[in-house]
Amino acid sequence: MDKLQLKGLTKKFADLVVVGDLNLTLRAGEFVSLLGPSGCGKTTTLRMIAGFVTPTAGTVEMDGRQMSSATSSLPPEKRRMSMIFQSYALWPNMTVEQNVAFGLKMRKVAKDEARRRVGQILDVVQLGHLAARYPNELSGGQQQRVSLARALVVKPEILLLDEPLSNLDANLREEMRSEIRRLHNEFGITSIYVTHDQSEAMTTSDRIAVMNRGRIEQIDDPLTLYTRPKTRYVAEFIGRSNILDGKPNGSSVAFNGFEVASSRLGTSGPIHTSEFSLRSQNLALHAACPDGDCVILPGSIIERAFLGESWDYAFRTETGDLKLRVMSPPVSVFTVGQKVWLEINPSHIIPIQDDQHA
C-alpha cells in the first residue's frame, strides 16, 4: 500500500531549480533515504514533504490525499508527521520528560495518558533514568535519543529525519544509526531519512534515492544500488569505483590493455554502454604472476595509503595507459614502485546502464 507520493515535485528560488520534477512513492512502513551531496535538493524535498516549504509545481500526497501543491498547503502540524533535525531542537529550559511531552501537550492529550506514553517511549530509547535532566546535562547521543523520543511519542504516520547524526562523532553515529533502524522496525513508521553519508543510508534503508542537482539519479535497495549502478554518478558516489571505457564489438568488449568476452561480464543482457564500473575492493594484487583464467595485468604501485581496515593502492599498468584504485586487506603490503600483478575477475566489471532499457 502506498503511503506517500511525490508527483512532479519542483521547487525554484528565482531562476534556480533546487528540486526538479521529482517523482517518488513510499510504501507504508518503508524506510527510504534521500542520499546526495550538499546542494542536491534533498533537504528542500524533505521540507516540502513536511509542509515548511511550498512547491513551485507538483504535489505531495499522503494516503491519496493532497498535502501540498503550488496553490495550497496543509500546515505542518496537521500532517500527522514528525521531523527530527540535526540540531536536536530541544527546549533548554525543559527537562527530558517535558521535552518529550511537549507534542502531546500541544495535542491536548490527557495528563495521565501523556505521562504513560512519555514513560513508555523513554524506556524504549533507554533514557527513563534521565527523565529529570536538562539537555545541557546530556551527551550528544542522549540528546538525539530525546529528539527521537519526542518525535515518536506523538505516533506520527510519517517520520522525517534531516541529517540527524551529523553532529555526532564516528562511534556515536554508528551506534545511533543502528538505534534508528531498531526503532523503525519496532514502530513500523514510514520514514524518510536525509543524509550525505552513504554508510548511514546503506545500513538503515530499505531503499535509497541517490539525488543529484535536484533529481533522483537512481532509487533501489542498497545491494542493487551498489552492484548495479545505472549512471556514472551513482557508480562513483556509492562506494569506490573505477570507471572503465569499453568498446563493445559483438561477442567481446575491448578495454584499455585487455579484452573480455561479453558473456563473462557482470550482466546477463545486451550491452548498450561504453562505461563500466569496477569496484576497487573487487581487484586483487599479487607479488608474483597468478594462475587462473582471470584478466592479469602487470604493473606497479604508484601510491598507497593505510586506512586501518585496508590499504588503498593506486596501480598503473606497465604501458602506463591504465590507472586503477585497489582496496586490499591489511596483510597485503606492497611498496610504492614495487612491480605487481593485478587480477581482475571479469564478472566484477559491470556495465553502467539501466537494464530496463536494455
Instruction: Kindly state the average pLDDT of the residues 337-351.
Output: 97
Q: Do 209 and 112 fall within a single domain?
A: yes
Contact in structure between 250 and 258 (CB atoms under 8 Å): no
How far does Cα 100 stand from its chain's mean position? 28
Which residue's entry shows cell 533522483? Answer: 216
Q: Look at residue 108 and tell me whether its pLDDT is greater than 60.
A: yes
Q: Do 174 and 244 fall within a single domain?
A: no
Phi-psi region of 279 (alpha: psi -120 to 50; beta: other; left: phi over 0): beta
Boundary (domain end) residue, out of 232, 251, 283: 232
Which amino acid is located at 237 in the chain? F
Phi-psi region of 311 (alpha: psi -120 to 50; beta: other; left: phi over 0): beta
What pLDDT, on a 0 to 100 scale, did the predictor assign at position 357? Answer: 47
Boundary (domain end) residue, out of 232, 265, 296: 232
**pLDDT tens profile 45-58:** 999 999 999 999 99
Boundary (domain end) residue, out of 182, 210, 232: 232
CATH number at residue 337: 2.40.50.140
How far does Cα 323 stand from its chain's mean position? 28
- Measure the CA–CA gap between 231 and 329, rounded to whole angstroms: 28
Q: Do 164 and 308 fall within a single domain?
A: no
CATH number at residue 144: 3.40.50.300
Q: Which of 177, 264, 183 is nearest to 222 (CA)?
A: 177
pLDDT tier, 298 (very low <50, low <70, confident <90, very high otherwise): very high
What pLDDT, on a 0 to 100 scale, did the predictor assign at position 355? Answer: 64
**Domain tally for the chain?**
2
Q: Look at residue 320 and tell me whether its pLDDT is greater than 80.
A: no
**pLDDT tens profile 194-248:** 999 999 999 999 999 999 999 999 999 999 999 999 999 999 999 889 999 999 9
**CB count, 10 Å around CB of 163?**
20
Q: Do 95 and 197 fall within a single domain?
A: yes
pLDDT tier, 358 (very low <50, low <70, confident <90, very high otherwise): very low
What pLDDT, on a 0 to 100 scale, did the predictor assign at position 307? Answer: 95
What pLDDT, on a 0 to 100 scale, did the predictor assign at position 250? Answer: 82
Q: Do 102 and 226 fall within a single domain?
A: yes
Q: Do 315 and 220 fall within a single domain?
A: no
What pLDDT, on a 0 to 100 scale, did the predictor assign at position 89? Answer: 82
Q: Do 227 and 176 fall within a single domain?
A: yes
When the pLDDT of each residue in the chain is averaged and rounded to a whole number, the result is 93
Q: Do 36 and 59 fall within a single domain?
A: yes
**pLDDT tens profile 7-46:** 999 999 999 999 999 999 999 999 999 999 999 999 999 9
Q: Do 136 and 284 fall within a single domain?
A: no
- Residue 225 vs residue 89, higher pLDDT: 225
| Secondary structure class of 146 (helix, strand, coil) | helix
Residue partners of 125: CB distance under 8 A and separation at least 6: 145, 146, 148, 149, 179, 183
Q: What is the pTM of this model?
A: 0.90
Length of the chain: 358
Q: Which domain holds residue 146?
A: 2-232
Q: Which of 178, 217, 183 is nearest to 35 (CA)?
A: 217
- Measure the CA–CA gap between 147 and 153, rounded to whole angstroms: 10
- Residue 141 vs residue 253, higher pLDDT: 253
What pLDDT, on a 0 to 100 scale, did the predictor assign at position 356? Answer: 54
Q: Do 72 and 191 fall within a single domain?
A: yes
What pLDDT, on a 0 to 100 scale, did the predictor assign at position 171? Answer: 83
Q: Do 207 and 255 fall within a single domain?
A: no
- Measure the CA–CA gap between 8 and 6, rounded to whole angstroms: 7
What pLDDT, on a 0 to 100 scale, did the predictor assign at position 173? Answer: 86
Q: Do 71 and 204 fall within a single domain?
A: yes
Contact in structure between 214 and 20 (CB atoms under 8 Å): yes
Q: Which of 192, 151, 147, 191 is nearest to 167 (CA)?
A: 147
